[in-house]
Chain A
Amino acid sequence: MILDELGASTLRVSTPLVFAALGGLYSERAGVVNIALEGMMLVGAFAAAAGTYFAHDPWVGAAAGMASGMSLAAIYALFVISLRANQVVAGTAINILALGLTPLLCKALFEVTSSTPSIPLSDRFHSAPVVAAWILVLVSWIVVQRTPAGLWLRFAGENPDALDSAGVRVNFVRWVAVLISGGLAGLGGASLSLFLSSSFSRNMTAGRGFIALAALIFGKWRPVPAAVACLLFGCFEATQIRLQGITFPGGGSFPVQFVQILPYFLTILVLAGFVGQSRPPRALGLPFRRE
């Protein structure tokens, strides 16, 4: 009974992570570091909540979330691909921008900064995001492994010079990849505000973009393992939510912080090669230019 509940809850809370990790996958496999996932999720969460509030239709909201994530991703791509700004610095800037922009917009639309008005249950998603997320995992797996576009994506991140000399424009591939990345992160944010809760609230992603990034690394930059890592991290979150209610006979409660830090801790171990080995795409973080 408890296990059933935990399983269902794991599936639910891992859904935003799955979307965002897939988003990170497209960008990073193409060679563009994406620590801006957090910011893209955040604007996605806000736009989805606002869109749904006005349209009374979660699908419109989800589309708005996706579009807003893509818009932010376009700014990011402009700076890091076309202007060759440092990806880590620009990514940090995008996150800060999203953190400031969302409450400002919230104030402009709803007169309050802390959160959007609550969306009635009838206008929210019930299970669609979970299904959509896992369908997208499979689609991504097929796209990356079986299509020409997927092959280009992988070469853009591994050996852009080879891709260039094969006649494919590397920076075009990267632009598309970053836009897809933003769209998926936006959907991740949408599933946070329309599925896991009933409104947008200030900084509601609370590091989920980074957890998604961690899951991506944990899953060795591959769609299915990354999604499974999201499930694992989602399971930690679900467990922690359950543990929060429990009080020990002595009156104390369980220190959930130790569960909270597990995803981050494990990612460090994996990246350092203490547990398994995770190797980033070879050209990750390097701007491309021909001569």
Chain B
Amino acid sequence: MTGTIPLAVEMRGVIKRFGAATANAGVDLQVARGTIHGIVGENGAGKSTAMNLLFGKYRSDAGEVLLDGNVRRWRSPAEAIAAGIGMVHQHFLLGGPHTALENIILGAEPRRHGFIDTARARADLELLAQAHHLPVPWDTPVDQLPVGIQQRVEILKALYRQARVLILDEPTAVLTPSEADHLLAGLREFVKSGRTVLLVTHKLREVLSWTDQLTVFRAGRTVATLRTKETTAEAVAEKMIGRKVDLKVRWPPGTPTTECLLEVRHLTTAHPGKGLQDISISARAGEIVGIAGVEGNGQSELVRTILSPAEQDLRGGEISWLGTSALRLNSAQVRGLGVASIPEDRISKGLLTEATVQENFILGHQRRSEYSSFGVLKRLAINAAALRVLEDNDVRPADVSVPARVLSGGNQQKLIFGRELHGQPRFIVACQPTRGVDLGAAQFIHEQLVRCRDRGAGVLLVSSELEEILALSDRILVMYGGRIVAEYGRQEATEAELGLRMGGV
């Protein structure tokens, strides 16, 4: 496949572990000079880790990286930059109150008599900006620039350091479609001069229309490298999803009642281009509504907004919980209606890792009369209830006095489930409920959600795992770019179809 075109970048058998977790289990990548090379894969497939290895941010545990045919090992981004690699991160590394110019020249300032030679920097940058059609207001603090321009600043930062290989991590995630096309057209020009672009994205449309070749990542490995012209969206989606056998079970369908527990109408939040756009969802008692989508397409905003509407910046729309208009309710009040939530990141949003399991169990229930009277906690009742919940949910070790941090991810998640489902909530919002948990725990968690549904509760399941969505949902909504772009009944959806929708096709 390499043929006569010389390779700009090559990775051979690269492995990277973080503690017990393996982020890259074998990455083989060949990128021809003067091309745009797409890097695609689901969340957690190892794309970002591989790119950060290339950029010197991490050091690999095995394998080698070659630049222009030579084996290279750099210990820091500084060395990678010196070698001609530039990276535009998904989260920009820009210093807020500093000007665009200062951000670009940082660490590579032109000097005159020990001072920064602003005039020369400006002249050089003007040339660079003109050559690549990337105009930027040099003297404006970057935090006052729109994200599209901030991205130009990041790209110019790399070009100013004479990057020959430019890595862009999800560059269009923050852009409107026309901005995205402008950026990608610019990249086409850019590679004509013999430079190389690695484009990390989950948007199949972009990959297919702008890259020369693409490499698919799955579960930490590179599974295929394809010529873009010779492939189709369906083929790529299939490679991305693979043939995993995990959780292939489909749970029996629910029997929804007519009672609508959650009603969202035309919800729009105040971050143009980033927030929610005209979202409408209804979820009845006795059904699981799945929200599918690649992460970062508005799911987190949606969940935050429906769980604490009063604390959000809403532009329009209506939310009602269990028949009560909820726009003025805060999170405590929404909870009070009988809405439980499983947060997407259990460590940072759901647990007091340093507190005991028992205290984590009581969090949110502490004012209920079973567990406190006159402000004093009822230790015995809490202890007994916590122990019962641990046993019911098969949390191991079933010891209420250990700190929550000693539990494994799966057991932590089961603890959170036990807590949130304690007291029979009417509705459960579950975000990425099985992320990072072992198969047994995942199975158990799914069982719990189905059981809740079958006793008449409503469930909103937000997940970027397609199998999970397909296994559990009675209805499936797909989110893309802050909108609901498709809705399917239980039997209508297939993985391939959903994969395409999630990629914005």
Chain A interface (Cβ within 8 Å of chain B)?
142, 146-148, 151-152, 154-155, 158-159, 161-168, 282, 290-291
Q: Once the chains are docked, how many angstroms separate the CA of A164 from the CA of B89?
A: 14
Q: Once the chains are docked, how many angstroms separate the CA of A163 from the CA of B115?
A: 18
Q: Is the CB of A291 within 8 A of B77?
A: no
The answer, among B57, B95, B116, for a CB contact under 8 Å with A148, is B116
Q: Once the chains are docked, how many angstroms separate the CA of A291 from the CA of B78?
A: 15
* CB-defined contacts of A147 to chain B, threshold 8 Å: 114-116
Most chain B CB atoms below 10 A, which of A151, A163, A164 = A151
Q: Once the chains are docked, how many angstroms separate the CA of A142 from the CA of B116?
A: 11
Q: Is the CB of A282 within 8 A of B96?
A: yes
Most chain A CB atoms below 10 A, which of B58, B82, B114 = B114
Q: Is the CB of A166 within 8 A of B94?
A: no
B6 at interface, CB cutoff 8 A: no
Q: Is the CB of B109 within 8 A of A165?
A: no
The answer, among A146, A161, A163, A282, for a CB contact under 8 Å with B107, is A163
Q: Is the CB of A164 within 8 A of B77?
A: yes
The answer, among B57, B82, B95, B111, for a CB contact under 8 Å with A159, is B95
Q: Once the chains are docked, how many angstroms separate the CA of A146 from the CA of B105?
A: 13
Q: Is the CB of B96 within 8 A of A151?
A: no
Q: Once the chains are docked, how many angstroms separate the CA of A142 from the CA of B81?
A: 29
In the assembled complex, 11 residue pairs joining A and B whose CB atoms fall closer than 8 Å, in A order, are A142-B115, A148-B116, A151-B105, A152-B107, A155-B95, A162-B94, A162-B103, A165-B57, A166-B78, A167-B78, A167-B107
Measured CB to CB, the closest approach of chain B to A163, in angstroms, equals: 7
Q: Is the CB of A151 within 8 A of B102?
A: yes
Q: Is the CB of A151 within 8 A of B116?
A: yes
B245 at interface, CB cutoff 8 A: no
B97 at interface, CB cutoff 8 A: yes
Q: Is the CB of A146 within 8 A of B81?
A: no
Q: Once the chains are docked, how many angstroms separate the CA of A163 from the CA of B114?
A: 19
* CB-defined contacts of A162 to chain B, threshold 8 Å: 93-95, 103, 106
Q: Is the CB of B106 within 8 A of A166?
A: yes
* CB-defined contacts of A152 to chain B, threshold 8 Å: 106-107
B76 at interface, CB cutoff 8 A: yes
List 5 tightest A-B contacts by C-beta distance, closest first: A167-B78, A166-B107, A159-B95, A162-B93, A148-B109
Query: Provided the pairs A151-B109, A162-B106, A166-B107 are in contact, do residues A146 and B116 lie with their beta carbons within 8 angstroms?
Result: yes
**Chain A interface secondary structure, helix, strand, loop or mixed?**
helix
Q: Once the chains are docked, how many angstroms separate the CA of A165 from the CA of B108?
A: 12
* CB-defined contacts of B157 to chain A, threshold 8 Å: 166
B182 at interface, CB cutoff 8 A: no
Q: Once the chains are docked, how many angstroms separate the CA of A27 from the CA of B114?
A: 22
Query: Provided the pairs A151-B102, A291-B57 are in contact, do residues A158 and B96 lie with their beta carbons within 8 angstroms?
Result: yes
Q: Is the CB of B107 within 8 A of A158?
A: no
Query: Provided the pairs A151-B109, A167-B78 are in contact, do residues A146 and B115 lie with their beta carbons within 8 angstroms?
Result: yes
* CB-defined contacts of A158 to chain B, threshold 8 Å: 95-98
The answer, among B102, B107, B115, for a CB contact under 8 Å with A168, is B107
Measured CB to CB, the closest approach of chain B to A225, in angstroms, equals: 15
The answer, among A163, A167, A290, for a CB contact under 8 Å with B82, is A167
The answer, among B81, B106, B108, B109, for a CB contact under 8 Å with A163, is B106
* CB-defined contacts of B114 to chain A, threshold 8 Å: 147
Task: Scan residues 105-150 of chain B and give those whose CB is less than 8 A from a CB of chain A.
Answer: 105-109, 111, 114-116
Interface size on B, residues (CB 8 A): 25
* CB-defined contacts of A167 to chain B, threshold 8 Å: 76-78, 81-82, 107-108
Query: Provided the pairs A167-B76, A291-B58 are in contact, do residues A151 and B106 lie with their beta carbons within 8 angstroms?
Result: yes
* CB-defined contacts of A146 to chain B, threshold 8 Å: 115-116
Q: Is the CB of A165 within 8 A of B77?
A: yes
Measured CB to CB, the closest approach of chain B to A25, in angstroms, equals: 15
Q: Once the chains are docked, how many angstroms separate the CA of A158 from the CA of B94?
A: 9
Measured CB to CB, the closest approach of chain B to A195, in angstroms, equals: 31
Measured CB to CB, the closest approach of chain A to B156, in angstroms, equals: 13
Measured CB to CB, the closest approach of chain A to B180, in angstroms, equals: 24
* CB-defined contacts of B78 to chain A, threshold 8 Å: 166-168
The answer, among B97, B108, B115, for a CB contact under 8 Å with A166, is B108
Q: Is the CB of A165 within 8 A of B93?
A: yes
Task: Scan residues 65-86 of chain B and give those whose CB is less than 8 A from a CB of chain A.
Answer: 76-78, 81-82
Q: Once the chains are docked, how many angstroms separate the CA of A163 from the CA of B58?
A: 17
* CB-defined contacts of B115 to chain A, threshold 8 Å: 142, 146-147
Q: Once the chains are docked, how many angstroms separate the CA of A151 from the CA of B108?
A: 11
Measured CB to CB, the closest approach of chain B to A210, in angstroms, equals: 26
* CB-defined contacts of B97 to chain A, threshold 8 Å: 158
Most chain B CB atoms below 10 A, which of A146, A158, A164, A167 = A167
Q: Which residue of A lies closest to B102 (CB)?
A: A151
Q: Which residue of A lies closest to B78 (CB)?
A: A167
Q: Once the chains are docked, how many angstroms separate the CA of A291 from the CA of B75?
A: 13
* CB-defined contacts of B81 to chain A, threshold 8 Å: 165-167
* CB-defined contacts of B77 to chain A, threshold 8 Å: 164-165, 167
Q: Once the chains are docked, how many angstroms separate the CA of A290 from the CA of B59?
A: 12
Q: Once the chains are docked, how many angstroms separate the CA of A159 from the CA of B96?
A: 8
Q: Once the chains are docked, how many angstroms separate the CA of A282 from the CA of B58?
A: 25
* CB-defined contacts of A155 to chain B, threshold 8 Å: 95, 98, 106
Q: Once the chains are docked, how many angstroms separate the CA of A168 from the CA of B106?
A: 9
Q: Which residue of A lies closest to B57 (CB)?
A: A291
* CB-defined contacts of B93 to chain A, threshold 8 Å: 159, 161-162, 165
Annotate B201-245 by CB proximity to A: 1 below 8 A, 0 otherwise.
000000000000000000000000000000000000000000000
* CB-defined contacts of B96 to chain A, threshold 8 Å: 158-159, 282
* CB-defined contacts of A163 to chain B, threshold 8 Å: 95, 106-107
Most chain A CB atoms below 10 A, which of B81, B93, B108, B109 = B93
Q: Once the chains are docked, how many angstroms separate the CA of A1 from the CA of B20?
A: 77
Q: Which residue of B lies closest to A157 (CB)?
A: B95
Q: Which residue of A lies closest to B59 (CB)?
A: A291
Measured CB to CB, the closest approach of chain B to A29, in angstroms, equals: 11
Q: Once the chains are docked, how many angstroms separate the CA of A159 from the CA of B93?
A: 8
Q: Which residue of B lies closest to A147 (CB)?
A: B115
Q: Once the chains are docked, how many angstroms separate the CA of A122 from the CA of B111?
A: 44
Measured CB to CB, the closest approach of chain A to B236, in angstroms, equals: 31
Q: A154-B95, A155-B98, A167-B107 are in contact. List 5 more A-B contacts (CB 8 A).
A: A148-B116, A151-B116, A162-B106, A166-B81, A290-B76
Q: Which residue of B lies closest to A154 (CB)?
A: B98
* CB-defined contacts of A165 to chain B, threshold 8 Å: 57, 77, 81, 93
Q: Which residue of B lies closest to A158 (CB)?
A: B95
Q: Once the chains are docked, how many angstroms separate the CA of A142 from the CA of B96?
A: 21
